[in-house]
Amino acid sequence: MAIRVQAEDFDVGAELAALSDGNPSVGGVASFVGLVRDIAGGDAVSAMTLEHYPGMTERQLAAIEAEARARWPLDGVLIIHRHGRLLPGDRIVLAACASAHRAAAFEACWFLMDWLKTKAPFWKQEETPAGARWVAAKREDDQAAERWYKRTP
Amino acid sequence: MAIRVQAEDFDVGAELAALSDGNPSVGGVASFVGLVRDIAGGDAVSAMTLEHYPGMTERQLAAIEAEARARWPLDGVLIIHRHGRLLPGDRIVLAACASAHRAAAFEACWFLMDWLKTKAPFWKQEETPAGARWVAAKREDDQAAERWYKRTP
Amino acid sequence: MRILYFAWLRAKIGTAEEEVAPPADVATTGDLITWLQSRGPTYADALANRAVVKVAVNQDYVGLDHPLAAGDEVALFPPVTGG
Amino acid sequence: MRILYFAWLRAKIGTAEEEVAPPADVATTGDLITWLQSRGPTYADALANRAVVKVAVNQDYVGLDHPLAAGDEVALFPPVTGG
């Protein structure tokens, strides 16, 4: 289980290396780093504050990791998500999957990002010239998450 | 254009950070690191030597990068591929795409890996207890590359 | 029963957390929201559009028909926007 | 005309590179492979299965009907296995 929720930044190179260290059956590591953008909905964003629900956040991220491990043959999974006040260009999140097979690593990593976007209890508030505003959930994020639901007969 | 073919290892954290440094319109960086596995076809692999075609390798990788940039809205693309003798656990390749949108970053990065597997002129020779042997091209790699061909009417 | 509020629900209601003792006929999460709305205009306003109020009980997502027990930790919050 | 060989084609033929002067009727890449096969048993053996011989002219992939010019750099190699 490798879920971390923290205010501090993280070292992407060290984290990715640790996912395969000592396990030479890993053929590849797919990852995604999410960053704070300086523009949203056409408005300049000078900072972003991430609120979260301590306890539930870790619980939901762990459930998403468990689901990924059940669906794909993974040698390692890592999710690090920051909270607190961040500036444009700052890292927000790292999701990474190590596998013997590159398709499994890519799919599982993309799945982690799509599901955590709609399931992990974080809320973004942006600072713009017009004042602070809460980010609204995006319909495209719901659709991206729904791609991964298993069809039941 | 960010294509590098080299014998030396690379610093994944520094390379990924450089893809978005100074560009706060980047929302995310998707990447894949390929590693030498210690087993192939059921046999132990003690080392792997990558031969390549200097000149054509860079030319083909640049063409793949250009194709990715034409298909997806990307703020940065990076392909680093090593050659020479490598040991299990060593990094072989890094492919990374920066974009405002995570779907574009994931798709483009996966595309880079699938296409370079079947188009970049590299050949792997594995050292096994039974001697050195050339790796055969995999049918599944051809199929993965074909997914990305545009259908023409 | 402990209730947690997050993001703009927390800001509108004016508190992050409170202990409440709803009447005995508040049996489900839906009942709880209806009862909370009756507690004053800030609650009524914050909870007016149930389509944007997500509910978790003991840190798992639940629907509005989820039964409540005395020691539950109930959280109310807008759709999440992490990642 | 310069010919480059890679991987097991290089190993079987026993050289990485050679200058050749094929006869005038060698007009295409397919003609060139047929002519090379006639140069001896190592060539005949290495080039026996054309399905596993890829061809590049001036560092671009081409088919077996590609026309050849005097100064071309021609490369023959097995299917690639990088990444």
Q: What is the mean pLDDT of residues B121-140?
A: 96
- How far apart, in whole angstroms, are the C-alpha atoms of residue A10 and residue A34? 12
Cβ contact, residue pair A81, C82, below 8 Å: yes
Q: Is A17 within 8 Å of B20 when comparing Cβ atoms?
A: no
- pLDDT for residue B150: 75
Nearest to A77 by CA among A57, A62, A58: A62
Q: In what order do the strands lie in the sheet with D54-57?
A: D17-19, D2-5, D73-77, D54-57, D60-62
Q: What is the rounded radius of gyration, in angstroms, for the C-alpha atoms of chain C? A: 12
The answer to whether the CB of B52 falls within 8 A of the CB of B84 is no
Average pLDDT over residues B47-60: 98
pTM: 0.96
Tell me: pLDDT of A1 over 90: no
- Band of pLDDT at residue A92, cut at 50, 70 and 90: very high
What is the per-residue pLDDT across A100-115, written as a single tens digit (0 to 9) for each? 999 999 999 999 999 9
| Mean pLDDT calculated for residue range A134-138 | 95
Instruction: Please tell me which chains touch A, using 3 or more CB pairs under 8 Å as the contact test.
Output: B, C
Instruction: Reply yes or no on whether the pLDDT at B73 is more than 70.
Output: yes
Confidence of residue A99 (pLDDT cuts 50, 70, 90): very high
> Residues C36-55: what's their mean pLDDT?
96
A121–C6 CB contact, under 8 Å: yes
Query: What's the whole-number mean pLDDT along residues D59-76?
Result: 96
Residue A113, min C-alpha distance to chain B (Å) = 9
Residue A85 pLDDT > 70:
yes
Q: Is C59 in contact with A59 (Cβ distance < 8 A)?
A: yes
Residue B152 pLDDT:
54
Of the partner residues A55, A81, A124, the one whose CB lies closest to the CB of residue C81: A124
Average pLDDT estimate for A38-52: 96
Question: Which chains border D (3 or more CB–CB pairs < 8 Å)?
Answer: B
Whether the per-residue pLDDT at B153 is higher than 60: the answer is: no
Question: Mind telling me how many Å the CA of B36 is from chain D's nearest CA?
Answer: 10
Output the pLDDT for position D71: 93
Which percentage of chain A shows pLDDT scores above 90? 95
Q: Give the pLDDT confidence score for residue A150 in this predicted structure.
A: 75
Mean pLDDT value of segment D27-44: 97
Quickly list H helices, D1-55: 7-13, 29-37, 41-46
Per-residue pLDDT for B121 more than 80?
A: yes
pLDDT in tens, C8-38: 999 999 999 999 999 999 999 999 999 999 9
Mean pLDDT of chain B: 96
- What is the distance in angstroms between the Cα of A24 and the nearest Cα belonging to chain C? 30
Helix (H/G/I), strand (E/B), else coil: D14: coil
pLDDT of residue A152: 54
Interface membership of C7 toward A (CB under 8 Å): yes
Contacts of A102 in chain B (CB under 8 A): 32, 34, 113
Q: What chain B residue is nearest to D17 in terms of C-alpha separation?
A: B53
Q: Identify the closest residue of chain B to D61 by CA–CA distance.
A: B119
Residues of D numbered 33-52 whose beta carbons fall under 8 angstroms of chain B's beta carbons: which are they?
Answer: none
Q: What is the mean pLDDT of residues B57-77?
A: 98
Instruction: Using a pLDDT cut of 70, give the percent of chain B over it.
Output: 97
- Cα atoms in the Cβ-side hemisphere of radius 13 Å centred on C22: 26
> Mutating which of A45, A56, A67 best tests the C interface, going by the most C Cβ atoms within 10 A?
A56
